[in-house]
Amino acid sequence: MKKLFRTGNPYIWLTAGTLTVCLLMICGLIVLIMVNGFGIFWPRTIVQFTLRDGEVVMGEVAKKESIPHQKDASRTKLKVGNRDVYGMDFRWIDDADVVSRDYPPHALAFERREWGNMYGFLHGLRQDDGVKPLRFNGLAPLLKESRALYKKIRYVEKKEIGDINYRMEKSRLELKRLACLQPTEKIQKKVAAVTAGMERLETIYRERENTLAGLYAKAREKEVVVLLADGREKILPVFQIIRVSAPNEMGVFAKMGFYSAKFWEFIWGEPREANTEGGVFPAIFGTVMMVLIMSIAVVPLGVLTAVYLKEYASDNFIARLVRISVSNLAGVPSIVFGVFGLGFFIYFIGGGIDKLFFPESLPTPTYGTGGILWASLTLALLTVPVVVVATEEGLSAVPMSLREGSYALGATKIETLLKVVIPQATPGILTGTILAMARAAGEVAPLMITGVVKLAPSLPIDGHFPYIHLERKFMHLGFHIYDVGFQSPNVEAAIPMVYTTTLVLLFTVLVLNLTAIVARNKLKKWYSTGSM
Amino acid sequence: MENKKIKVPEPIVNIIDLALYYGKMKALKGINLDVSRKKITSFIGPSGCGKSTLIRCLNRLNDLIESVTIEGSIRIDGKDIYDPAIDVTELRRRVGMVFQKPNPFPKTIYENVIYGPRIVGIGKKGVLDEICEKALKKAALWEEVKDRLHTNALDLSGGQQQRICIARAIAMEPEIILLDEPCSALDPIATAKIEDMLVELKRDYTVIIVTHNMQQAARISDFTGFFMLGELVEFNVTTEIFTNPREKQTEDYITGRFG
């Protein structure tokens, strides 16, 4: 026995076993997320149940389970949709109550702009004097038309009216600013000019509103009548429909097409219905942009700190104290950084900027409220110890002989640092940056009080001068998961979204890290050979 | 001590009563020595005798170690190099150094050789190319690397790396080249190449070499100093040292009866 332990084999087995357990747990987590996340866009068959009391219900099977404390009894959770009619999306059905179940080929799933899915049969197109019969393929041109209309409405609303609002706000602030100045003749002239401009804008605005009203009226014109499973008729404006599918008739390729369309919408679309439907693009954009700003802030901060600590500070008590403190900073709960960011960046610095540069818009804060810049800086503070420690290690790894070689050629300390030591330590620095990015991309708590919102009206980058709006609030995938999963009014319908959003977050972090790793390897090569 | 100091032709370096302390430990105990211009002077002695420490004084590389204090003086061309008015980087440009372990920078061969000239502020590509070629030729490496100047210097063999380091030092056009056991990490063939090159270099530069290899000292050097325990035991023309040592310790060491 003693001999066996002396060989060390049991220890190898112990360590290998532990590693296996860890790997299995991580893989299990990822597989769970992938299965649930990738599965949700796959069209499911619509099943129709006839119950013992004669009621007919139709929908997608969401879940099956045995009823606790009852033998051989099971129940089915059916997504019946039609929230506006039934008041809820899901319904539990005791399998014992089901008399028959069938899969009607003409059953349709309508994805709507509001109220979630609707399941039913297409009855016809509503006209003044009744219902004109309409086939499923007759719906496609109507949908195309309504999609074009939707695009137009969005354009007018977002771009045109958005522009006008933006310029109006600018003019209003300008007026406010001018009002604070001495009312000389020049100023008065300016005031008159701005006011005239505002009036012009007002006219355009009213015109656009009229256009919009006309478009909306047009949108309401066409309506289809849908026959629900329980025999009720329901009128559905075509404009409300995003897409219609007949999953019971779809082949594999049709399903794949449907799947990719949904997936595309998820990545590039904007969220709808309190984030439970639609896409997550603003959240992806916000996450990536925040991480990038954070890296831009953290790298110089961390590297300069580490270079001073390692290369210039003498190794005395204070330097050691600073080093220990920096390391301990990594262990401070992130929410503490959030509170600090709120107090220091937002109220103190942001408030100061507002007082100095944007007094005209006060009391409405410009920088004195949460925004992507402050969130990024808070995270930079949170991750700076990672970069400092990694850089210090990188610097320590540069052999003394290289430094001596440089000194012996008449280089000064700073030349040696810039030309030999730091290039040599760059992989270490970038490793630190990668770790910092990974940490920052996954951090949510400090963001919640420094600028993340559930739904941001516009991205931090857009077509309005100066194009990058660092003061804007933003959306973030991590917060999106929390919001959709736990703060949503329709949690049950949103659960699949949580998985998919998690998947997207993991993927985003992966892409960010891979980019950084590739950059590191390229840089390494570049420093050693002078070419990429 | 004074009796051990011999007259050398055309002295370029005068080391006068040099003592060096690491903290409280006295590593060099009053060295007096002259080095002759455009000759090879070698320092031999057992490990820890202070010979490396001594040559690191000549380009003030010991300044990097905080605990070092120095007494006495070293003159190069009559100027005290420990004078506070001396610019250390300027001194190091005049006194090049090659280390025990090849330490090329993790850059291309070309970038390694022109590192020094770049620092001095030479930026013209034509000039740098010329310097690079000349230095590599002097270091007897040009033929081997001229087709791959822009590959990483670390891909070369140990001997080639060491010659890169020598070329790097030559590129600065120094007056004196210090070599701290340059061949101790190399195989005999690479060593032979470097020895041949050093003999060539003697025409233009003053070479000071620290070596553990007594045959090497005997083969290439004009003057040899034998050190022990921080003292210069004997300094003389190389042939004298090896054929007719004055001191018993020297004789014991070179005949292998010691250490």
The ipTM, to two decimals, is 0.89
Does residue B1 surpass a pLDDT of 70?
A: no
Does residue A104 surpass a pLDDT of 90?
A: no
Computed over every residue of chain A, the mean pLDDT equals: 86
- Measured between beta carbons, the chain A residues lying within 8 angstroms of B92 are 407-410
Instruction: Give A510 to chain B, closest Cα distance, Å.
Output: 30
Pair of tokens at residue A433: 């940056």
Q: What pLDDT band is residue A302 in, cutting at 50, 70 and 90?
A: very high
Does residue A528 surpass a pLDDT of 70?
A: no
- Measured between beta carbons, the chain B residues lying within 8 angstroms of A418 are none
Tell how strand B206-210 and strand B176-180 pair up.
Answer: parallel
- Measured between beta carbons, the chain A residues lying within 8 angstroms of B96 are 408-409
**Which residue of B59, B104, B108 is in closest CB contact with A529?**
B108
CB contact under 8 A, A528 and B97: no
Q: Which pLDDT value is given to residue A13?
A: 92
Cis preceding linkage at B106, omega within 30: no
- Span A214-241, average pLDDT: 84
Q: Which pLDDT value is given to residue B258?
A: 61
**Which residue of B61, B104, B106 is in closest CB contact with A407?**
B61
Q: How many CB atoms lie within 10 A of CB B24?
A: 7
Partner A contacted by B185 (CB < 8 A): no
CATH no. for B10-254: 3.40.50.300
- Measured between beta carbons, the chain A residues lying within 8 angstroms of B106 are 402, 423-424, 527-528
Sorted by sequence, the CB contacts under 8 Å of residue B259 that are 6+ apart come out as: B46, B253
Name which residue leads in pLDDT, B257 or A31: A31
Cα angle A235-A488-A503, degrees, rounded to a multiple of 5 = 105
Q: Which pLDDT value is given to residue A348?
A: 92
Sign of CA dihedral A398, A401, A403, A409: negative
- Span A346-350, average pLDDT: 91
Lowest mean pLDDT among A333-342, A455-464, B31-40, B42-51: A455-464
CB contact under 8 A, A415 and B119: yes
Q: Which pLDDT value is given to residue A529?
A: 60
End-to-end CA distance of chain A: 57
Pair of tokens at residue A206: 């009213």
Does residue B63 surpass a pLDDT of 90?
A: no
- Measured between beta carbons, the chain B residues lying within 8 angstroms of A402 are 103, 105-106
End-to-end CA distance of chain B: 24
- Pick from A303, A479, A453, A296: which is nearest to A379 by CA? A296
Amino acid making up residue B114: I
Contact B256, B60 (CB under 8 A): no
Share of chain A above pLDDT 70, in %: 99
Partner A contacted by B202 (CB < 8 A): no
The pLDDT tens digits for A431-464 are 888 889 888 888 899 999 998 888 887 788 877 7
Does residue A205 surpass a pLDDT of 50?
A: yes
Using a CB–CB cut-off of 8 Å, the residues of A that contact B are: 399, 401-412, 415, 419-420, 423-424, 527-531
Q: What pLDDT band is residue A16 in, cutting at 50, 70 and 90?
A: very high
Q: Which pLDDT value is given to residue A531?
A: 47
- Which ranges of B17-87 does DSSP label H, i.e. alpha helix? 51-58
Q: Where are the domains of chain A?
A: 290-529
Lowest mean pLDDT among A36-40, B90-94, B161-165, B205-209: A36-40
Share of chain B above pLDDT 70, in %: 97
Does residue B259 surpass a pLDDT of 60?
A: no
Contact B97, B178 (CB under 8 A): yes
Partner A contacted by B86 (CB < 8 A): no
Q: Which of A311, A409, A419, A523 to substitute to test the interface with B, most B CBs within 10 Å? A: A409
Partner A contacted by B64 (CB < 8 A): yes
Closest chain B residue to A404 measured between Cα atoms? B61
Amino acid making up residue B235: F
CB contact under 8 A, B150 and A530: yes
The pLDDT tens digits for B113-169 are 999 998 888 888 899 999 999 999 888 888 888 898 888 888 888 888 998 999 999
- Measured between beta carbons, the chain A residues lying within 8 angstroms of B169 are 408-409
- Maximum CA extent, chain B: 56
Beta bridge partners of A58: A48
Closest chain B residue to A528 measured between Cα atoms? B107
Contact B182, B212 (CB under 8 A): no
- Span B75-80, average pLDDT: 88
Query: With helix as H, strand as E and coil as C, how does A294-354 read?
Result: HHHHHHHHHHHHHHHHHHHCCCCHHHHHHHHHHHHHCCCCHHHHHHHHHHHHHHHHHHHHH
Partner A contacted by B4 (CB < 8 A): no
Residues in B 140-159 with any Cβ partner in A closer than 8 A: 150-152, 154
Does residue A335 surpass a pLDDT of 80?
A: yes
Beta bridge partners of A444: none
Partner A contacted by B12 (CB < 8 A): no
Helix axes A491-529, A422-442, angle to 10 degrees: 180
The pLDDT tens digits for A479-508 are 998 888 888 777 777 788 888 889 888 888
**Which residue of B90, B105, B172 is in closest CB contact with A420?**
B105
Partner A contacted by B168 (CB < 8 A): yes
Q: Which pLDDT value is given to residue A337?
A: 93
Q: How many CB atoms lie within 10 A of CB B124?
A: 9
Does residue B2 surpass a pLDDT of 80?
A: no
**Which residue of B89, B104, B169 is in closest CB contact with A412?**
B89
Partner A contacted by B114 (CB < 8 A): no
- Measured between beta carbons, the chain A residues lying within 8 angstroms of B152 are 528-529
Partner A contacted by B125 (CB < 8 A): no
Instruction: Give B251 to chain A, closest Cα distance, Å.
Output: 34
CB contact under 8 A, A407 and B92: yes
Instruction: Give B159 to chain A, closest Cα distance, Å.
Output: 17
- Measured between beta carbons, the chain B residues lying within 8 angstroms of A408 are 59, 61, 92, 96-97, 99, 169
CB contact under 8 A, A527 and B111: no
Contact A509, A436 (CB under 8 A): no
Partner A contacted by B244 (CB < 8 A): no
- Span B226-240, average pLDDT: 90
Q: Which pLDDT value is given to residue B178?
A: 92
Closest chain B residue to A402 measured between Cα atoms? B103
**Which stretch of DSSP H or E encloses residue B178?**
strand B176-180
- Measured between beta carbons, the chain B residues lying within 8 angstroms of A424 are 106
CB contact under 8 A, A409 and B101: no
Q: Which pLDDT value is given to residue A530?
A: 52
CB pairs under 8 A between A and B: 79
Q: Which of B53, B93, B97, B105 to substitute to test the interface with A, most A CBs within 10 Å? A: B105
Contact A445, A338 (CB under 8 A): yes
The pLDDT tens digits for A153-187 are 888 888 888 888 888 888 888 888 888 777 788 88
CB contact under 8 A, A402 and B120: no
Partner A contacted by B243 (CB < 8 A): no
Does residue B53 surpass a pLDDT of 80?
A: yes
- Span A235-257, average pLDDT: 86
CATH number (3.30.1280.10, 1.10.1740.10, 1.20.58.220, 1.10.3720.10) of A290-529 reads 1.10.3720.10
Instruction: Give B192 to chain A, closest Cα distance, Å.
Output: 23
DSSP-derived 3-state class of residue B189:
helix
Q: Where are the domains of chain B?
A: 10-254
